[in-house]
Chain A
Amino acid sequence: MGTSDNTFRNFIRKHEKTVSFSDKPDIQYPIGIVEPSPCMEACPAGVNVKAYVSLIAAGKFHEALHVVRERNPLPGICGRVCTHPCETYCNRNQIDAPVAIRALKRFVADYELEHPIPKPQKTAGTREEKIAIIGSGPAGLTAAHDLAKSGFNVTIFEELSEPGGMLIAGIPSYRMPRDILKIEIDYIRNLGVKIITNKKISGKQDYNKLLKGYDAIYLAIGAHIGKKLGIPGEDDYEGFLDAVTFLREVNLGKPQKPGEKIIVIGGGNSAIDAARTALRLGSEVNIVYRRTRQEMPAEKEEINEAEKEGIKIHYLAAPAKIIGENNKVTGLECTKMKLGKPDESGRARPIAIKDSEFIIEADVIIPAISQEPDLSFLPKDHNIDISRWNTFTANENTMATNIPGIFAGGDAVTGPNTVIDAIAQGHVAAKSIERFINGEALEQTDSRTKPIETEIKIDLKNRPKTKRADIPMQKISERKNSFQEVEYGFDEATAIAEAQRCLRCGPCDECYICVSDCHKGLSVIHSKNGQDDYVLRLPPDFQSNNLADGNLHGILKSANGKDMPIELDSYIPVVKEELCRGCGDCVTVCEYDACQLIQKDGEIFVSQIDSDLCRGCGTCVTFCPSSAIQPSRYTSDWLSFKLKKIDPKKRNIVVFSCNWNGADFEKINTSKYKNINFIFIQTMCTGRIESTFILRALEEGADGILIVGCSADECHYEFGAKRFAETYAKVQQLAHMLGYDKYRIEYKTVSGKNTDKFVELVNNYTRKFK
Chain B
Amino acid sequence: MDLVDQIKATNAYGCLECGKCTAVCPVSLFSQRYSPRSMLTKTIRNEFDSLYIDYDLWSCLTCRRCDAVCPANIDYSTLTQIVRSSAQDSGFHGKCSHAGAMELLQKTMTTKDLKQNRLDWVTNDLQIADTGEILYYVGCAPYFDVFFTDLDIATLDAAKSSVKILNKLGITPVLMSDERCCGHDLLWNGDVENFKMLAEKNIESVENTGAKTILFSCAECMSAFMNLYPEHGFKVKPKLMHMSQFLAEKLSNDELNLKESNTDITFQDPCRLGRHMGIYDEPRQVLKHNDGEHFHEMMQHDKKSLCCGVSAWMNCDITSKGIQKERLKQAKETGAEILAVACPKCHIHLTCTMKDKFVEDNYHMDIRDISTVVLERME
State the A residues within 8 Å of B (CB): 578-584, 588, 597, 604-606, 622, 625-628, 636, 690-692, 695-696, 698-699, 730, 733-734, 736-739
B97 to A692, Cβ gap below 8 A?
Answer: no
Q: Scan residues 316-331 of chain B and give those whose CB is less than 8 A from a CB of chain A.
A: 316-318, 320-321
When distances are taken between beta carbons in the complex, the residues of chain B under 8 Å from A606 are: 318
Q: Scan residues 279-336 of chain B and give those whose CB is less than 8 A from a CB of chain A.
A: 315-318, 320-321
Among B109, B143, B321, point to the contact of A583 (Cβ < 8 A).
B321
Map CB proximity to A onto B95-139 as digits: 1 under 8 Å, 0 otherwise: 111111100110111010011111010000000000000000000
Q: Can you pick out 10 interface pairs between chain A and chain B where the beta carbons lie within 8 Å of each other? A: A581-B356, A582-B321, A583-B356, A605-B358, A627-B100, A636-B100, A699-B111, A730-B146, A738-B108, A738-B114
Bound-complex Cα distance A739 to B142 (A): 13
Among A582, A604, A625, A739, point to the contact of B97 (Cβ < 8 A).
A625
Bound-complex Cα distance A488 to B107 (A): 64
When distances are taken between beta carbons in the complex, the residues of chain A under 8 Å from B357 are: 583-584, 588
B92 within 8 A of A: no
B234 within 8 A of A: no
Cβ distance B355 to chain A, nearest Cβ, rounded Å: 9
When distances are taken between beta carbons in the complex, the residues of chain B under 8 Å from A584 are: 356-358
When distances are taken between beta carbons in the complex, the residues of chain A under 8 Å from B317 are: 578-581, 626, 628
When distances are taken between beta carbons in the complex, the residues of chain A under 8 Å from B48 are: none
When distances are taken between beta carbons in the complex, the residues of chain A under 8 Å from B114 are: 738-739
B358 to A597, Cβ gap below 8 A?
Answer: yes
Q: A579 — nearest CB in chain B belongs to which residue?
A: B317
Bound-complex Cα distance A577 to B352 (A): 19
Known: A581-B317, A737-B117. A699 touches B97 (CB 8 A): no
When distances are taken between beta carbons in the complex, the residues of chain A under 8 Å from B101 are: 690-692, 695
When distances are taken between beta carbons in the complex, the residues of chain A under 8 Å from B142 are: 737
Among B55, B104, B111, B120, point to the contact of A692 (Cβ < 8 A).
B104
Cβ distance B315 to chain A, nearest Cβ, rounded Å: 7
Cβ distance A410 to chain B, nearest Cβ, rounded Å: 58
When distances are taken between beta carbons in the complex, the residues of chain B under 8 Å from A628 are: 317
Q: A605 — nearest CB in chain B belongs to which residue?
A: B358
Q: Scan residues 350-377 of chain B and give those whose CB is less than 8 A from a CB of chain A.
A: 352, 356-358
When distances are taken between beta carbons in the complex, the residues of chain A under 8 Å from B55 are: 578
Q: Other CB < 8 Å A-B pairs besides A584-B357, A737-B116, A737-B142, 8 of them?
A: A584-B356, A584-B358, A605-B358, A622-B99, A625-B98, A626-B97, A730-B147, A739-B117
Q: B116 — nearest CB in chain A belongs to which residue?
A: A739
When distances are taken between beta carbons in the complex, the residues of chain B under 8 Å from A588 are: 357
When distances are taken between beta carbons in the complex, the residues of chain B under 8 Å from A625 are: 97-98, 316, 352
Bound-complex Cα distance A626 to B55 (A): 14
Bound-complex Cα distance A578 to B317 (A): 7
Bound-complex Cα distance A738 to B105 (A): 9
B99 to A692, Cβ gap below 8 A?
Answer: yes
Bound-complex Cα distance A737 to B55 (A): 33
Bound-complex Cα distance A583 to B353 (A): 8
Bound-complex Cα distance A739 to B114 (A): 7
When distances are taken between beta carbons in the complex, the residues of chain A under 8 Å from B321 are: 581-583
A583 to B99, Cβ gap below 8 A?
Answer: no
Q: A604 — nearest CB in chain B belongs to which residue?
A: B318
Bound-complex Cα distance A511 to B105 (A): 44
B253 within 8 A of A: no
Cβ distance A93 to chain B, nearest Cβ, rounded Å: 38
Q: A583 — nearest CB in chain B belongs to which residue?
A: B356
Q: B102 — nearest CB in chain A belongs to which residue?
A: A692
When distances are taken between beta carbons in the complex, the residues of chain A under 8 Å from B262 are: none
Cβ distance B363 to chain A, nearest Cβ, rounded Å: 12
B320 to A581, Cβ gap below 8 A?
Answer: yes
Bound-complex Cα distance A606 to B318 (A): 8
B149 within 8 A of A: yes
B146 to A695, Cβ gap below 8 A?
Answer: no
When distances are taken between beta carbons in the complex, the residues of chain B under 8 Å from A691 are: 99, 101, 147
Cβ distance A335 to chain B, nearest Cβ, rounded Å: 71
A737 to B143, Cβ gap below 8 A?
Answer: yes
A738 to B104, Cβ gap below 8 A?
Answer: no
Bound-complex Cα distance A734 to B114 (A): 13
A583 to B358, Cβ gap below 8 A?
Answer: yes
Cβ distance B21 to chain A, nearest Cβ, rounded Å: 22
